Amino acid sequence: MFQLDGNPIAFSKGDSILQAAHKAGYYIPHLCFHPDFKAHGSCRLCVVDVKGKTVSACTQPAEDKLEVYSDTAELRQSRLRLIQLLFAEGNHYCPSCEVSGNCQLQALAYDLGMTHYHYDPFSPLRQQDGSHSQLFIDQDRCIQCDLCGRASQEQDLKSVYLLAGRGQDTHLAFRSHNGQLGSTNASMDDRAAHICPVGCILPKAGNYPDIAGERLYDKIPIHTQGNHRRDEGGQDEP
């Protein structure tokens, strides 16, 4: 057992703090974590305070009698700033975005009370990829969480997606000779095609199915609803 904001949480050996909290039905904000896949630790939204140190809950092993603090004013502010950095570094056009209302980045922004970018937008130029017959890649929205890479490798056993580049030029790449998604064996049936927490990996057909007001996060905030994809069914989260 460890304590999360004063609540006792049971865990199994090898669980991270986030895994254990997730199983127990407690929400710690996150974007790059998914219970089905290996932790990444890159988005840093799941930062928690442990023994006077701030660590990512998805990579920090749970330990007995640990006192973990997640829902503090300071950490909420840090998470807000991280979300704002993610918005500033990409090109996010929520009003016209296919996943608006179903987007985990947007939902967390609402949840954390984001009202503006705070940082000057970087307005990067990013290469798009429309080469695949069923999937479109909008790199403008990519947050480099590598969930697609992990899903493709660990579940689809295809290893289609990877991260390349360095620093602010880090970008999603595809394992094909010409570097295009269309030349890989990626398919709509892949788990990786339905794992993107934002609107980077999109189906070409069947977008905007829900009217505003009836989308995933329109009525229920992400801290209650959990991190889901509308097309994923949402069985995996509390």
Partner 1 sequence: MVNPINDWLTAKSDFPSWSTDLAEQTLLRHYHNPFLPERVLQNLVILQQLFGHISLPMQEWLSRKSGVHIADLRALISFYLFLEEAKPCRYHLRFADNIIEQHAGVNELIEQVKEKLCGCDCKIETTSCIGLSDHPVSLLVNGFPVTRLTADNVNDFCQLIRRGAPLQDWPRSWFAVNNLIRHKGPLTAYPYQAGQGIAQAKSLSREQIIDLIGDAGLRGMGGAGFPTAFKWHWCEQQNEPIKYIACNADEGEPGTFKDRYYLSQQTDQMIEGMIIAALAVGAVRGFIYLRGEYLYLYQPIEKGLQRWREQGYLNADFDIELHLGAGAYICGEESAMIESLAGKRGIPTPKPPFPGEKGLFDKPTVVNNVETFVAATYILQQGSKAFKSVGTEKSPGSRLHSVSGDCQQPGLYELPQGTPVRELLALCDAKDTLCVQAGGPSGALYLPHQFDTPLDFENPGRGGSVMVFNRSRSLMDITRNFIQFFRHESCGFCTPCRAGTVAMCNLLERYEHQPTLKEQNKSDMIELAQLMQQTSHCGLGKTAGLPILNFLNLVEHHE
Strand ranges, E, within 107-160: 135-137
Q: Are 195 and 101 in contact, with CB atoms under 8 Å apart?
A: no
* Number of residues located near partner 1, criterion CB under 8 A: 40
The answer to whether residue 144 forms part of the interface with partner 1 (CB under 8 A) is yes
Q: How far is the CB of 12 from partner 1 (least distance, A)?
A: 17
Closer residue to partner 1, CB minimum distance, 44 or 191 = 44
Q: How far is the CB of 117 from partner 1 (least distance, A)?
A: 10
Q: Are 119 and 84 in contact, with CB atoms under 8 Å apart?
A: yes
The answer to whether residue 126 forms part of the interface with partner 1 (CB under 8 A) is no
Residue 103 and residue 199: Cα distance in Å, rounded?
7
- Exactly one of 23, 71, 76, 78 binds partner 1 (CB under 8 A); that residue is 78
Closer residue to partner 1, CB minimum distance, 81 or 194 = 81
Q: How far is the CB of 103 from partner 1 (least distance, A)?
A: 16
Q: Are 60 and 33 in contact, with CB atoms under 8 Å apart?
A: no
Closer residue to partner 1, CB minimum distance, 129 or 215 = 129
Residue 141 and residue 151: Cα distance in Å, rounded?
18
The answer to whether residue 51 forms part of the interface with partner 1 (CB under 8 A) is no
- Exactly one of 176, 203, 232, 236 binds partner 1 (CB under 8 A); that residue is 176
Closer residue to partner 1, CB minimum distance, 27 or 174 = 174
The answer to whether residue 94 forms part of the interface with partner 1 (CB under 8 A) is no
The answer to whether residue 169 forms part of the interface with partner 1 (CB under 8 A) is yes
Q: Are 145 and 31 in contact, with CB atoms under 8 Å apart?
A: yes
Q: What is the largest CA-CA distance in the chain?
A: 53
| Edge-to-edge order in the sheet of strand 7-9 | 7-9, 2-4, 67-69, 47-50, 53-56
- Exactly one of 28, 47, 68, 192 binds partner 1 (CB under 8 A); that residue is 47
Closer residue to partner 1, CB minimum distance, 27 or 87 = 87
Q: Compute, in degrees rounded to 10, the torsion defined by CA atoms 153, 154, 155, 156.
A: 20
Q: C-alpha angle 192/47/197, rounded to 5°?
A: 20
Closer residue to partner 1, CB minimum distance, 134 or 176 = 176
Question: Strands 47-50, 67-69: parallel, antiparallel or unpaired by DSSP?
Answer: antiparallel
Task: With CA atoms as reference, report the closest residue to 137 among 169, 161, 106.
Answer: 161
The answer to whether residue 88 forms part of the interface with partner 1 (CB under 8 A) is yes
Q: How far is the CB of 4 from partner 1 (least distance, A)?
A: 18
Q: Which residues bind partner 1 (CB under 8 A)?
A: 39, 41-45, 47, 54, 56, 59, 61, 78, 81-82, 85-86, 88-89, 118-120, 122, 143-144, 159, 162-170, 173-177, 179
